[in-house]
Structure 1
């Protein structure tokens, strides 16, 4: 099982790992989904042994690849015979965050998100980073906040990520009601609304500016749908941070904003659990 503060990452060929902190160990998990071969009718001779050998080779290759770039990083691996999403849910009890790839088989190029990533994002126990787009070494950290919800955990993660990467932080609040009111014929003082929203946004992250004095933080108020605003902001970002905003009154479901963002973002997305 992972040690305290581990970063968990399933083996993901072709993806560069994204770490929130270089001091944390990395635990690489490969899930061996053997259910098609459990029925005698579909189980070729020696299939379990072959799948196990392949799984261990994948883990070894992943470990060697990471060690080439981060030779001093503490790395452990695990081969788990379980359905992928369940195997990952069983792992992060003491982890700092979970890192997944975004491979999928969707019908649209802009929505190629794997089902495992989407299922894990619906109820993350720890911060979940979905690696998609260009995992650039440069660029700013973008965090989207909802002023109607407690954004403390989301902002804390974003400020820490910016401090660790020595990156500028852009705090974005998008307000979609503006266009609706205008279309309905209401008189709207756009300038005053933007001033009020900016003041609330600055107040939300003000305590963290003291805690992270090295972080160059700026705020941006955008009068459009949050998914559109954050997806556009992600084009020049190295990481986009959003809250999960789960709905607790029914089955666990990912909030609509986070759901849209992880489908359309152009950079890795960190989904932070609701408090």
Structure 2
């Protein structure tokens, strides 16, 4: 059986967007869809002794079952041939999602669920998991109905997994791929840098970017590729490039830690991207 696509739901509007995106992704890729709801274990059962066993509210469990069944029913109404499974699991949300996503193709989450704070673009569970799992994590904000796939590239880090996912997504959606590397000169250098210096820097960066992308162009001759080198703060550049995008792809990286983690650019991108964003773990 092919690796499944796992999506978390709590019945909120944001989760519904994530389920719909994940279902479309599963149908396009010919993969099964697994819809998961986590029932938070409440440590205080009303009227019970202080150190009583952890309590699971039946009404919450019933609500969780309704959330996954409603989601599955909606998915199958539009995609009757899609293989769909569901699970309602009692445990902390990050623990459940991490466990259910083991050996998955990717994990899909909404940008904010029922527990989110107004104005907070990324829920705490998405922030905990994006870049910290061995599989891609997709955070869905909006339908992602633009014309391009956008991928952010760091010239100093291995980008193989990130570019592979981005080119595959562009081919899957029949979309143009926009490869973005944003750069800035250090503030201390800016007063003394001439226009010729900037042009030379851009030319050198362009050659480096072209060299990184070239093997992937050869492997995917059917994908239209645009390479872009904005002289701009990276998060702002990616958010701007993704305004009309179907998907934004960024990579997590190892930074003096045993596990992948979101860097400053990835962290900013998942908060400000106006479209669905996929965070690719580092190898």
With structure 2 as the length reference, what TM-score do the two structures score? Answer: 0.87
Q: Deviations over 1:171-193 (max 9, x none)?
A: 0000022655214x244611111
1:167-178 equivalence runs, <5 A: 167-177=175-185
The 2-side partners of 1:178 and 1:191 are apart by 16
The 1-side partners of 2:185 and 2:133 are apart by 29
Counterpart among 211, 214, 234 of residue 206 in structure 1 = 214
Counterpart among 265, 269, 275 of residue 277 in structure 2 = 269
Q: 2:104 — aligned with what?
A: 95
Give unmatched runs, 5+ long, in structure 2.
none
Number of residues of Structure 1 aligned to a counterpart in Structure 2:
267
SS at match of 2:29: coil
**Do the aligned residues in 2 keep the contact of 1:147 with 1:200 (CA within 8 Å)?**
yes
The 1-side partners of 2:58 and 2:130 are apart by 32
Q: 1:5 — aligned with what?
A: 3
**Do the aligned residues in 2 keep the contact of 1:123 with 1:246 (CA within 8 Å)?**
no
**Do the aligned residues in 1 keep the contact of 2:144 with 2:276 (CA within 8 Å)?**
no
Q: 1:157 — aligned with what?
A: 165
Give unmatched runs, 5+ long, in structure 1.
none
The 2-side partners of 1:251 and 1:272 are apart by 13
The 1-side partners of 2:103 and 2:131 are apart by 19
- TM-superposed CA distance for 1:135, in Å, is 1.8
Q: Deviations over 1:78-106 (max 9, x none)?
A: 11101000111112221000000011645
The 2-side partners of 1:233 and 1:160 are apart by 19
- TM-superposed CA distance for 1:251, in Å, is 7.8
Q: Deviations over 1:189-219 (max 9, x none)?
A: 1111111111111111111112211111110
Q: 1:113 — aligned with what?
A: 122
RMSD of aligned alpha carbons: 2.3
Counterpart among 7, 24, 35 of residue 31 in structure 2 = 24
Moved over 3 A (4+): 36-39, 104-107, 248-253
Q: 1:242 — aligned with what?
A: 250
